[in-house]
Structure 1
């Protein structure tokens, strides 16, 4: 299951429904639709001033008609605006994800006021005891995205510095480009993964120790205390960044089984779907991932996916062909249908 907290309304609902009917091949898609944004200059109709409670109720009426059950609160400039949105959300049975956008005290207000989940880490390296107690008592879920760490160098820079993901067969076959917008080195917003690797920065390991690892250690302590901590990829590399986030948690000292919980049942619990998803239990929906290696021994084995089942439909992860009850070769991806003038770029840079 993929949760997208910043998507286009109608496009995402349409795509999610087509995936469930089998018209499109992809993960189960949970989405928030358009964000509720507080910056006036923001385009695409996401700006909502929320000058009154009725303003917030109007937002919820429209979203209720569209059918989701989650909103994302993003850069609402005052606590009063956020409280109006939360009150309206309670009236319409919606959850509200909050992004503090790197502002510590905005995050604190979000915790106090009752947001369902906090996206990104609070922009401090260490969560001291008072903050730990507040988070635990509030029952808010945390999706820290160590891969995009507020307040320090992103964890994804550590990955590009230390991993050679661009050489993997699945990456070559299924990942045409990655999110390059957060690269410290200025470049195009999207590039092939091997290009992003070549344009990475290298820093001493101590920088990462006071950055993403320190945040990860705080979240590991929270998880041991019973807080709900989720693995989240920020969409940096579709299909691979979740695995990267799991590696970053491991670098921070979290045990493999706890990382697996953060990547599965915790997310289902956060969004009220743990009665249907998140664990292999009789009566739950038939969403499974089959691995060749044991991730409880080494979290890197989570990257040994052989088969994926979505809603009872089984796919070979090396080909993306549907197998099992059906024999359905996949159609071409959108990037495979673009003219290349006879040039096979993949073989050029991979040395094949």
Structure 2
């Protein structure tokens, strides 16, 4: 029953103004299918969509009896809708979040082919209002999952936007209020003492309290994720029962035992490389902001400020250069866990759609094959969110989120930027209606 209700909530957003709802089935013929499972591309396939779902996936030679509007997708590739399993819309500590700017940021994800996002901690009124509007079909946005306020110990990481609890069972009323008022899709906890890089020491969430919190939410059907940054804290969170990890290990190289543990436990881990790598990237290569996806997602004023004021500030921070040093270590940690059968999912820890593509580029630079990266951004990400029964791959019965491309993403992950059309819950996104910060964009769809 829970699955049926969840699917109804997700599929309902297809009626939003700015999508092209299909009065009949739509069939993409002669497409090369990259279905999200990590298998080889399947050439000359037909994918049929109706009532917000994939209803048929079959070789085109066998698709003649399918009824509906037909699109010749010869020379095109179809992948599932991309996901970002870790964002903080508008920035995690930005006190001046504005509704319209949030809507623009969400549009940047959809324009970049991202059809589902998880906000891992925010001003609750801001993100939950947007979540309600997305589900009611009032805004053109990716599907939004959110924790609202995260949960942690007083003075610990993220406590400025968190529900603070310090003892058990005294914490129960605060958690009950969080559940009743915010209806979190997934609850984020933080297990972080800092004292590494250039960060000062802070309070640490006690493990027995963490375990009780996780069990309390799980017993109410709510999944959990945990902010950790070291191997030790990741292991502690896993054995406290957390359902996923919100970050990779970045404090140092992981041990062989940890790699094997992740392969055995299959606890999904988000990548979040761009949040650290982005500092030195802006300082050393500000020209990346001239790429089409960024130019569409930021206003000219925002780009000018990033290239001048922000760049100058970040150049002087020791954190910028510590993260440049440690990002390759995190990349290799992720590559090793993936190679051992662990579940790596794409998350950015950012607030703009093109960052998902940068995240995938960094995984390719780490030596991961593009086809596997697509699985990270789709089916693995759905597993991270506990939604793999509905999302993350192109298969009959699943919600029809997809991206049609004009270049082969399994040859080079950069080709995932060659977007022709984005499909969310069976509806074609009308890019003319997207409120892009960079202004109206040239239409990419040619049918």
TM-score between both structures, scaled by the size of structure 1:
0.76
Choose between structure 1 and 2: higher strand proportion.
Answer: 2
Confirm or deny: 8 A CA contact 1:141 1:270 kept in the other structure.
yes
RMSD: 3.3
Question: Structure 2: how far apart are the matches of 1:120 and 1:196?
Answer: 28
What is the CA-CA distance between 1:244 and the residue it aligns to? 0.7
Question: Structure 2: how far apart are the matches of 1:31 and 1:177?
Answer: 29
Question: Structure 2: how far apart are the matches of 1:191 and 1:71?
Answer: 36
Confirm or deny: 8 A CA contact 1:56 1:84 kept in the other structure.
no
What's 2:171 paired with? Answer: 55
What's 1:273 paired with? Answer: 387
Question: Structure 1: how far apart are the matches of 2:183 and 2:301?
Answer: 30
Question: Structure 2: how far apart are the matches of 1:226 and 1:113?
Answer: 22
What's 2:216 paired with? Answer: 88
Confirm or deny: 8 A CA contact 2:223 2:386 kept in the other structure.
no
Bigger RCO (CA 8 Å, 6+ sep): 2
| Residue pairs, 1:193-272, within 5 angstroms | 193-195=306-308, 198-199=311-312, 201=315, 211-235=326-350, 237-272=351-386
What's 1:68 paired with? Answer: 184
Question: Structure 2: how far apart are the matches of 1:178 and 1:270?
Answer: 35
What is the CA-CA distance between 1:215 and the residue it aligns to? 2.2
| Residue pairs, 1:110-121, within 5 angstroms | 110-121=237-248
| Residue pairs, 1:25-36, within 5 angstroms | 25-36=140-151
What is the CA-CA distance between 1:24 and the residue it aligns to? 0.5
Confirm or deny: 8 A CA contact 1:32 1:68 kept in the other structure.
yes
Question: Structure 2: how far apart are the matches of 1:62 and 1:209?
Answer: 37
Confirm or deny: 8 A CA contact 2:422 2:429 kept in the other structure.
yes
Task: Show structure 2 runs of 5+ residues with no match.
Answer: 1-115, 192-203, 440-447
Aligned partner of residue 50 in structure 1, secondary structure: coil
- The aligned length equals 306
What's 1:23 paired with? Answer: 138
Q: 1:157 to 1:62 in 2, by over 3 A?
A: closer
| Residue pairs, 1:298-317, within 5 angstroms | 298-316=412-430
Question: Structure 2: how far apart are the matches of 1:177 and 1:212?
Answer: 29
What's 2:278 paired with? Answer: 156
Task: Show structure 1 runs of 5+ residues with no match.
Answer: 149-153, 180-189, 322-328, 337-352
TM-score between both structures, scaled by the size of structure 2:
0.61
Q: 1:14 to 1:198 in 2, by over 3 A?
A: closer
Confirm or deny: 8 A CA contact 1:35 1:46 kept in the other structure.
yes
269, 273, 296: which one aligns with 1:142? 269
Aligned partner of residue 345 in structure 2, secondary structure: coil
